[in-house]
A and B are shown apart, each in its own frame.
Chain A
Amino acid sequence: MIESDAFVQALQDIGVDFFTGVPDSILGGIIAELMVRRIYTPAVREDEAVGMAAGAYMAGKIPAVLMQNSGLGTSLNTLISLNQIYRQPCILIVSWRGQGGKDAPEHLVMGEVMPQFLDTMKIPHRTLTEKTAVEDFRWVAETFMKQRIPVALVITKGVVKGLHP
Chain B
Amino acid sequence: MRPEEGTLISRAQALAALLELLTGQPVIICNGFPSREAHKIADRPTHFYMIGSMGNAPAIALGVALAKPNKQVVTFDGDGNVLMGMGTLATVGALKPKNFIHVVFDNEVYGTTGNQPTISNVVPLEKVAKAAGYVNVERVLDREDLVYEFKDMLKKDGPSMLLIKVNEFAEDAGRVLLDPPDITKRFMKAIE
Q: Which residues of A contact B (CB under 8 A)?
A: 18, 41-45, 47-61, 63, 77-78, 81-82, 85-88
- Shortest Cβ distance from B181 into A: residue: A87
A58 touches B187 (CB 8 A): yes
B184 touches A58 (CB 8 A): yes
Task: Given contact pairs A48-B59, A48-B85, A61-B63, enumerate 9 new A-B contacts (beta carbons under 8 Å).
Answer: A44-B88, A51-B88, A52-B60, A52-B91, A54-B60, A56-B66, A59-B26, A60-B67, A77-B54
- Shortest Cβ distance from B69 into A: residue: A59
The count of chain B contact residues (Cβ–Cβ below 8 Å) is 34
A55 touches B67 (CB 8 A): yes
Answer whether A85 and B51 are a contact pair too, CB < 8 Å, given A44-B91, A58-B188, A59-B68.
Answer: yes
Measured in the bound complex, the distance between the Cα atoms of B180 and A57 in whole Å is: 15
B64 touches A58 (CB 8 A): yes
Answer whether A55 and B191 are a contact pair too, CB < 8 Å, given A48-B85, A48-B91, A61-B67.
Answer: no
Residue among B60, B183, B187 making CB contact with A51, cutoff 8 Å: B60
Measured in the bound complex, the distance between the Cα atoms of B97 and A41 in whole Å is: 12
Interface CB pairs A-B, < 8 A, 17: A18-B67, A42-B91, A44-B91, A51-B85, A52-B59, A52-B63, A54-B56, A55-B63, A55-B65, A58-B188, A59-B64, A59-B67, A60-B192, A63-B63, A77-B53, A81-B53, A82-B56
What does DSSP make chain B's interface, helix, strand, loop or mixed?
Answer: helix
Those 7 A-B pairs whose CB atoms lie nearest each other, nearest first: A55-B63, A81-B52, A51-B59, A59-B67, A51-B56, A52-B63, A44-B87
B91 touches A43 (CB 8 A): yes
A59 touches B63 (CB 8 A): yes
What residues of B have a CB within 8 angstroms of the CB of A58 in the complex? Answer: 48, 60, 63-64, 184, 187-188, 191
Measured in the bound complex, the distance between the Cα atoms of B58 and A78 in whole Å is: 13
What residues of B have a CB within 8 angstroms of the CB of A88 in the complex? Answer: 184
B91 touches A86 (CB 8 A): no
B88 touches A55 (CB 8 A): no
Measured in the bound complex, the distance between the Cα atoms of B54 and A47 in whole Å is: 10
What residues of A have a CB within 8 angstroms of the CB of B125 in the complex? Answer: none
B186 CB → nearest A CB, Å:
10
Residue among A51, A56, A77 making CB contact with B67, cutoff 8 Å: A56
